[in-house]
């Protein structure tokens, strides 16, 4: 448990550090290098278009990241008086009153709260993912993957121009790292160039991981399941996939694709207000 709590603190700091390094490389290295092409007009230069695209992706990724942290799932333990560990354990075993047995609820030991429609605990945000922040979490994964892949393309263009190499051959990217390591220790490659090459592989890994996680999460939503329910083998009532999507993304789903907006309230919270 101590290791998990430490990871819950280190992982968000690691993500913010990677985001800061990516922003600095894009703004002060990659985009200025694109202005050196005299064949393009200043208004529609690749530098301006790429800079606007990167800022749009970064703003959405960071905005949804903040909303995931702010919109924590409801602590149902407060409503059911589950303040003590023994009471929480009894409730999880099903010995509590039937009215407290809401579907998809789980007690997270890291957050010390009972959340409805609990999916998983995200270490990179240091928060549980549930009914209130699921849409923001998916948008965060989507725009993080797009920002990483955008940085990957810009970094490859920068390395191609700096080292006078071509990535037309698909094997060129796979053999870039071992060749760069040998050139770096032989003194033929600068430390700044080696750092950019290492970031290329880091962006590729993070981008593919976030894209795969986002696709898997969307598949679970279409089926009306949460990750915790799948892991525990909990059966869910079959519903139309459109209703499952609307419950997570709401009716204004298109607005959430363009700008970071707060997630829809959970069904439990709406029922409680009624």
Closest CA to 180 of 161, 197, 166: 197
Give the DSSP letter of residue 121.
E
- Known catalytic residue: 122? yes
d(CA 106, CA 154) in angstroms, rounded, equals: 42
Q: What per-residue confidence (pLDDT) applies to 185?
A: 92
The partner residues of 121 in beta bridges, in order of sequence, read 128
Question: In residues, how long is the chain?
Answer: 274
- pLDDT band at residue 28 using 50, 70 and 90 as cut-offs: very high
pLDDT score for 86: 40
Half-sphere exposure of 99 (CA within 13 A, CB side): 4
Q: Choose, from 17, 108, 111, 122, the residue flagged as catalytic.
A: 122
pLDDT, residue 100, reads 45
CA distance 113 to 92: 12
Q: What is the pLDDT of residues 211-248, one digit of tens each?
A: 999 999 999 999 888 888 888 787 778 889 888 888 88
Rounded to 5 degrees, what are φ and ψ at 115?
-115, 145
Burial per residue of 16-40, b for 16 or more beta-carbon CB atoms within 10 angstroms, e otherwise: eebbeebbebbeeebbeebeeeeee
pLDDT digits (tens, 9 = 90+) for 103-156: 567 788 888 778 777 888 999 998 999 878 899 999 999 999 999 999 999 999
Instruction: Write down the pLDDT at residue 27.
Output: 92
- Mind listing the pLDDT tens digit for each residue in 60-79? 999 999 999 988 877 666 65
Q: Indicate the pLDDT class of residue 254, thresholds 50, 70 and 90.
A: confident
Name the band, by pLDDT with cuts 50, 70 and 90, for residue 54: very high
The residues spanned by each domain of the chain are 9-35+43-73+134-273
Q: What is the pLDDT of residues 155-206, one digit of tens each?
A: 999 999 898 888 888 788 989 999 999 999 998 889 999 999 999 999 999 9
Long-range contacts, 242-250 (Cβ 8 Å, 24+): 245/221, 248/134, 248/135, 248/138, 248/221, 249/135, 250/135
Question: Which tokens in the block code for residue 243?
Answer: 């209703």
Query: Closest by alpha carbon to 118, among 228, 216, 230, 272?
Result: 228
What local confidence, expressed as pLDDT, does residue 84 receive?
44
pTM: 0.85
Question: Minimal CA–CA distance to 1: which of 112, 89, 78, 153?
Answer: 112
Name the token pair of 195: 């750092």
Q: What is the 3-state secondary structure (H, E, C) of 88-113?
A: HHHHHCCCCCHHHCCCCCEEECCCCE
Instruction: Answer whether 149's CB lies under 8 Å from 207's CB.
Output: yes
């Amino acid at each position: 448990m101590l290791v998990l709590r430490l990871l819950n603190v280190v992982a968000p700091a690691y993500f913010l550090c990677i985001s800061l390094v990516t922003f600095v490389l894009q703004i002060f290295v990659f985009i200025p290098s694109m202005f050196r092409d005299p064949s393009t007009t200043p208004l529609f230069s690749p530098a301006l278009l790429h800079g606007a695209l990167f800022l749009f992706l970064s703003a959405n990724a960071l905005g949804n990241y903040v909303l995931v942290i702010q919109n924590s799932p409801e602590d149902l333990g407060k409503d059911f008086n589950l303040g003590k560990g023994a009471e929480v354990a009894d409730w999880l075993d099903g010995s509590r009153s039937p009215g407290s047995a809401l579907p998809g609820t789980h007690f997270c030991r890291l957050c010390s709260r009972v959340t409805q429609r609990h999916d998983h605990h995200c270490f990179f945000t240091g928060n549980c993912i549930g009914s209130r922040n699921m849409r923001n979490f998916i948008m965060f994964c989507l725009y993080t993957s797009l920002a990483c892949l955008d940085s990957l393309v810009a970094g490859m263009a920068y390395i191609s121009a700096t080292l006078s190499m071509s990535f037309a051959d698909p094997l060129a990217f796979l053999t870039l790292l071992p060749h760069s390591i040998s050139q770096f220790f032989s003194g033929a490659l600068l430390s700044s160039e080696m750092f950019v090459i290492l970031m290329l592989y880091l962006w590729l890994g993070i981008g593919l991981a976030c894209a795969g996680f986002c696709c898997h999460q969307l598949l679970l939503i279409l089926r009306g399941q949460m990750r915790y329910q799948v892991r525990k083998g909990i059966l869910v009532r079959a519903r139309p996939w459109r209703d499952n999507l609307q419950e997570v993304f709401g009716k204004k789903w298109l607005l959430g694709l363009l700008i970071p907006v707060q997630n829809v309230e959970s069904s439990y919270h709406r029922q409680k207000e009624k």
